[in-house]
Amino acid sequence: MKNIHIIGIGLIGGSFARDLRVVNPKMNIYGIDANPEHITQAVALGIIDAQSSLSDLKDADLVVVAVPVDIATTILPEVLDHIGKDTLVIDMGSTKKAICESVATHPNRRNFLACHPIAGTEFSGPGAAIKGLYAGKTNIICEVEKTTFKLQEKALELFKSIGMRIRYMDPVAHDKHIAYMSHLSHISSFMLGKTVIEKEKNERDIFDMAGSGFASTVRLAKSNPTTWTSIFKQNKENILETLEEYIENLTHFKQLMQEDNFEGVYTEMEQTNHIKEILKGLE
């Protein structure tokens, strides 16, 4: 692959571009972004070589769509309208059902591979792009059977070259599971941050007591609200289900405290310690 076009030059798209440059420094990497400052910054940082447009995609070997998921459902059909017959198009969205549905009947559907790399940080914009973001990370691929085989091969070879693991999943199952494993944790972090900020209005010393535990728990509250609002909107039903279960657990924990049932509090935490074994491979 020589001509790469990345739509959305932020953390996700920019980091992917940086990893591609390591794999093949001779690649020509172009960028499309709604924010002109992102293009200027990405060129200055060496993330992309130059700006491009949808009309340039006819000569692209690869198009990477790394924009908020609500925008992805709108722009992906336009992208498929402009590509060449051998162009591979991938997206990097955190939801998959709506994105897959948006191109389901497109004549160039077989040029598209629906992806979700489980990678990221709480930062955004071209300046947040880093090398090695995807190394050792899982890339979930949905509806692989709907992508032409030769483009599947190209994509898998590329993902392998930057150190990614591959897992295949149905888009409906993906959205349900990711609501628990990612979307709920972001909501928890945002709401913890909100609670502390509101308390800090009256107690100025509260942040002087903030330690590493608070910092790690609230880290995700620094994430881009534009990105996450679109994710919450697209995965609303699954997220509401997870919130109901989460609120039930919080209410139960509160009740144990109210009843001075600290043996029950201990049991809740002891049982949850099993998460250490589940997450051992991610450390």
pLDDT one digit per residue (tens) for the chain, 283 residues: 899 999 999 999 999 999 999 999 999 999 999 999 999 999 999 999 999 999 999 999 999 999 999 999 999 999 999 999 999 999 999 999 999 999 999 999 999 999 999 998 888 999 999 999 999 999 999 999 999 999 999 999 999 999 999 999 999 999 999 999 899 999 999 999 898 888 776 666 666 666 677 778 888 889 899 999 999 999 999 999 999 999 999 999 999 999 999 999 999 999 999 888 777 755 5
Beta strands in 143-182, from DSSP E residues, in sequence order: 165-168
Distances (CA, A) of 185 to 9, 137, 273: 25, 18, 17
**Are the CB atoms for 64 and 27 separated by under 8 Å?**
no
Q: Which amino acid is at 139?
A: N
Q: Rounded to two decimals, what is the model's pTM?
A: 0.87
pLDDT, residue 213, reads: 76
Can you give 132-183 as a three-state secondary structure string?
A: CCCCCCEEEEECHHHCCHHHHHHHHHHHHHCCCEEEECCHHHHHHHHHHHHH
Range(s) of the chain covered by CATH 3.40.50.720? 3-170
SS3 120: coil
Question: Distance (Å, rounded) from C-alpha 233 to C-alpha 186?
Answer: 14
Q: Enter the DSSP assignment of 135.
A: T
Q: Which amino acid is at 130?
A: I
- Cα dihedral 213, 214, 217, 220 sign: negative
Say which CATH topology domain 173-282 has. 6-phosphogluconate dehydrogenase C-terminal fold (1.10.3660)
pLDDT, residue 207, reads: 65
Question: Distance (Å, rounded) from C-alpha 75 to C-alpha 59?
Answer: 18
**Are the CB atoms for 73 and 106 separated by under 8 Å?**
no
Range(s) of the chain covered by CATH 1.10.3660.10? 173-282
Number of Cβ atoms within 10 Å of the Cβ of 56? 16
**Are the CB atoms for 88 and 64 separated by under 8 Å?**
no
- Sheet containing 3-7: which strands, arranged edge to edge? 50-51, 28-32, 3-7, 62-65, 88-91, 112-117, 138-142, 165-168
- Domain at 3-170, CATH from 3.40.50.620, 3.50.50.60, 3.20.20.60, 3.40.50.720: 3.40.50.720
